[in-house]
Amino acid sequence: MKRIGMLTSGGDCQALNAAMRGVVKGLSHGVDELEVYGFNNGYKGLIYGDYRLLTSSDFSGILTKGGTILGSSRQPFKLMRVPDENGLDKVEAMKQTYYKLNLDCLVILGGNGTQKTANLLREEGLNIIHLPKTIDNDIYGTDVTFGFQSAINVASQAIDCIHTTAASHNRVFIVEVMGHKVGWLTLYSGVASGADIILLPEIPYDINRVVEAIDNRTKAGKGFTILAVAEGAISKEDAALTKKEYKDKKKKSKYPSVSYEIADQITQRTGTEVRVTVPGHTQRGGSPCPYDRVLCTRLGAAAAQAILEEDYGYMIAMINGETKRVPLGEVSGKLKVVDPDCKMIREAKTIGISFGD
């Protein structure tokens, strides 16, 4: 008999269900008896004992279903050691739920914050397996996270659709892509969809260089320009501020996001009409693409194998096309960012894409 718990934490993405299915199918073919307890709404379910016993029917037909059948919530890592409003010790409560159900392992699907808490529970003595989920692709220690490719497809489709209307009206269009701290999604979708200017958090932009790139296209007879802008894009001036100064400036800003500020600056300098499109949460929604379905099936199967071997405390990563077990303690708390001098950036610049630097 194997008893495992599963939870999905943080922002949702398209392939969470596919990953859970991979784990359960892998275990089902490896043991005679299996009990799977699903915790509702992420760590909240583990803290407050909100769970249900899942059956094989729960995992039937969910390979192509987006979102998560368990629900999710954000439970900030920095507050995990802080008692709740009733004085409850959250970490101790999670441990007690784990021991009450006599679990052999807890499978946790989530991004960076989720991973930090997963590692905390590992340090507290629980058997943990982590599966790397995020459309941002910013988890250290794995080449790719599930949800990333599906989000690229959505963001690229949004930029593709902008091309025709931008060309029809000879306008400058900004498409704001998700990514507060890293620019992987903006970089890949921007290149995939032929964006002329790509602005990333890792490469602070100079608005004068952005305007220069637009002017150069106009002089070359190009009637429109498309910018793919990460929601965490930052100007060189703002990048020079302290975190507190920058946070205070954002609070006082009249703009809903950086894209609208950039649009206003472009209009003031060029007189050109600028439109902003924000795909928003559509990038996390819909069905997982075939790539993510395959990725999650492989990661899930690899997680199942680790559980069968009782080899715990790992993130299941994809490295050079192979699934690997990476110690949680080695990767937790680290962020995988875009290297401004990486080959992909250099190659994009070679074909004329501006990064505003």
Q: List the catalytic residues.
A: 136
Give ∠ CA 192-13-345 in degrees, rounded to 5. 30
- The Cα 117–Cα 40 span in angstroms is 17
CA-based torsion, 91, 109, 228, 274: positive or negative: negative
Can you list the pairs that 321-330 forms with residues at least 24 positions away whose Cβ atoms lie under 8 Å?
A: 323/298, 323/299, 326/141, 326/142, 328/115, 328/118, 328/119, 328/122, 328/128, 328/130, 329/119, 329/122, 329/123, 330/141
Alpha-helical runs (H) found in 253-288: 258-270
Residue tagged 């359960």 (tokens): 24
**Among residues 35, 51, 33, 41, which one has the least CA distance to residue 96?**
51
Residue 262 exposed, middle or buried by CB count within 10 Å (0-12, 13-18, 19+): buried
DSSP H stretches of helix in 193-235: 207-219
Helix (H, G, I), strand (E, B) or coil at 250: helix
Q: Which residue has the tokens 């996001």?
A: 257
Tokens standing for 19?
A: 């990953």
* Cβ neighbours of residue 346 closer than 8 Å, sequence gap 6 or more: none
